[in-house]
Amino acid sequence: MGQPLRYGRGSASLFLLLGTLRGESLFDRARALQAQGQYGEAETQYRAFLREQPRSIPALTNLGVVLARESKFEEAIDAYQRALSLDASATPAKINLALAYYRTSEWLSAAKWFQAALEDNPDDRRALQLLAISYIQSRQYSAAANAYERLLPSTDPPILIGLSTAYREIGKRAESERILTTVLQQSSQSAEVQYLLGLAQYARQDYSEAVQSFTKTITLAPTRADGYFYLGATYFKQRKFEDAIGTWRSGVNADPQYFPSIFALGALLAELNRYTEAKPYLEQALTARPRDAATQLEMGRLYLREGRLQAALPLLESAAKLDPKSQQTSFLLAGAYQKVINAYALKGIDIDIENTDEFQNNTVQDRILSALKIIKTNNPSITTVVTFGTTTTGPDSTGTRLINQSKALGSNIDVYTIMPFDFGGSNMVTDTENATNGLRDKLKTAFGWSNATAYAHIGISGMNGKSDNAETTSTANWTSIRDWSKTNGLARLSFWSVNRDRQCASGGQTDSCSGVSQSSWAFTKINAGF
């Protein structure tokens, strides 16, 4: 946490001290949860701490670590970058950012940040070795050779085989063969050496040699799951699909819990339209890694082909959040939306972009907007709606970005609907009107519309009764909002939700009652007059 802050006397200082103590308690709780391997709970605590102390570099770095543990690498990268924006010399953030890029196979970015971390700690041999591997993977073989040479002298086979690979690619064939011969003479019957040789051959696309090395790996270590996986992957690269399937099946038999072979087998069978065979493997992969984007995408695609829309949509939408760079997601989402439209002969489709992992993620925004563009192109008469949160004065920077990007992408959205609640409202009629007028002005700026045209592209989705933040919209308030919306020609008026449109039996509010004095279905009857 660094040096403790010093406070003077007085009530203001006491307030700051109490706030800091509460923050430290959150931070300590998060660290304890992280140490216990309870990463989801730790993430929640770190985020709560950061809402109070958003410039805490240790909290941002630790948040990135737990996100990476949850395979939320894009979010982890964002956390590390935020830490570095506050302190460009934060070495832990640098090395962890490099590792996150390494785990997502973004080799150029990984190399950049391993280099930065090594400037702070030149003797970090593990970082240097990962830098060399990143160079190999990005085909920067001269740089890889230099990095491996910095690790010499060494008898470690991974380092020597990596150096041999780099030398081979930059034309130092004699040195490459000499190193390789030395390694094989020392450890020719080592499954690990054969495996590493296979990886090097696979990386430089010498697939025939890689098959031999991975086959020797399995012969020497018949239960080695990664040997089966890479042998299958090599067959796949050679387009020997049946050999790949057979090898991955053997790998799953050798280690029924080895995820890469399970997933690869299911994905290949699905790609070959052998859905019945693929399904149990993909379901097993999804159970093992429920937040793996590639698995969600493949399982969602399979469910889509089976016509199981309710199962497919959540997986595809979640995959878009977890791996927003996937180019397939927009098309698959559009395909899923289209099946829903066809199944129910829909006249409109409303996509709620609400959670922080979608609303505040620019790439996810773009995926959804692109999917809606495809829907609009294929269904010109359908009404497309996007629904998102607001402040009391209109969309924040994230909402503004959504509006501007919808225009840039040509999404042709018909209605932009705001949710004017849980936004610090005090007078819900005035605040809702102000928020709507803020949206109106954003639309006018983006599209050059008049007031009337902007209003005709606006919707309100309010909260009937009490909100989670104890904001109160009475039936009288909702009547005023309805009348104002009608007068200004808004496109849409709705509320959350009909199942709450009744008075609570004993005060308060729940998901099944509004928390205000009303007759049953009062809000619905008011809305009928819109």
Q: What SS3 state is found at 71?
A: coil
Q: What SS3 state is found at 380?
A: coil
- pLDDT in tens for each of the 530 residues of the chain? 333 333 333 334 443 333 444 456 889 999 999 999 999 999 999 998 998 899 999 999 999 999 999 888 889 999 999 999 999 999 999 999 999 999 988 999 999 999 999 999 999 999 999 999 999 989 999 999 999 999 999 989 999 999 998 998 899 988 988 898 888 888 878 898 898 888 888 888 899 999 999 999 999 999 999 999 999 999 999 999 999 999 999 999 999 999 999 999 999 999 999 999 999 999 999 998 888 888 998 999 899 888 888 888 888 888 877 776 666 667 777 878 888 888 788 899 999 988 766 788 887 888 889 889 989 998 999 999 999 999 999 999 999 999 999 999 999 999 999 999 999 889 999 999 999 999 999 999 999 999 999 999 999 999 999 998 889 999 999 999 999 999 999 999 999 999 999 999 876 667 889 999 999 999 999 999 99
Q: At what angle do helices 107-120 and 125-137 cross, to 10 degrees?
A: 160
Give ranges for CATH 3.20.20.80 in the chain.
348-502+509-530
φ/ψ region of 465 (left if φ > 0, alpha if ψ in -120 to 50, else beta) reads: left
Q: Identify the pLDDT of residue 378.
A: 87
pLDDT for 383-428, tens place per residue?
999 999 999 999 999 999 999 999 999 999 999 999 999 998 899 9
Q: Identify the pLDDT of residue 12.
A: 42
Topology of the domain covering 348-502+509-530: TIM Barrel (3.20.20)
| Cis peptide preceding 497, ω within 30 of 0 | yes
Q: Which residues does 445 contact at the CB level (< 8 Å), separation at least 6?
A: none
Q: Identify the pLDDT of residue 357.
A: 65
Residue tagged active-site, from 52, 271, 354, 433: 354
Q: Identify the pLDDT of residue 21.
A: 44
Q: Identify the pLDDT of residue 18.
A: 38
Find where tokens 């190399």 sit.
111
Q: What SS3 state is found at 54?
A: coil
For 36, the enclosing helix (H) or strand (E) is none
Give ranges for CATH 1.25.40.10 in the chain.
17-138
- CATH 1.20.140.10 is the classification of domain 17-138: no
Task: Write the CA distances from 44 to 33, 48, 59, 64, 84, integer angstroms.
Answer: 10, 6, 12, 12, 21
Known catalytic residue at 354: yes
Bridge-partner residues for 472, per DSSP? 466
Closest C-alpha to 362, from 397, 413, 394: 397
Contact 462, 420 (CB under 8 A): yes
How far is residue 66's CA from residue 39's CA, in Å, rounded to a whole number?
Answer: 5
Nearest-5° Cα angle at 519, 515 to 524: 90
Phi, psi of 496 (to 5 degrees): -115, 110
Q: What SS3 state is found at 450?
A: coil
Structure tokens at 169: 């690619």
pLDDT for 2-61, tens place per residue?
333 333 333 344 433 334 444 568 899 999 999 999 999 999 999 989 988 999 999 999
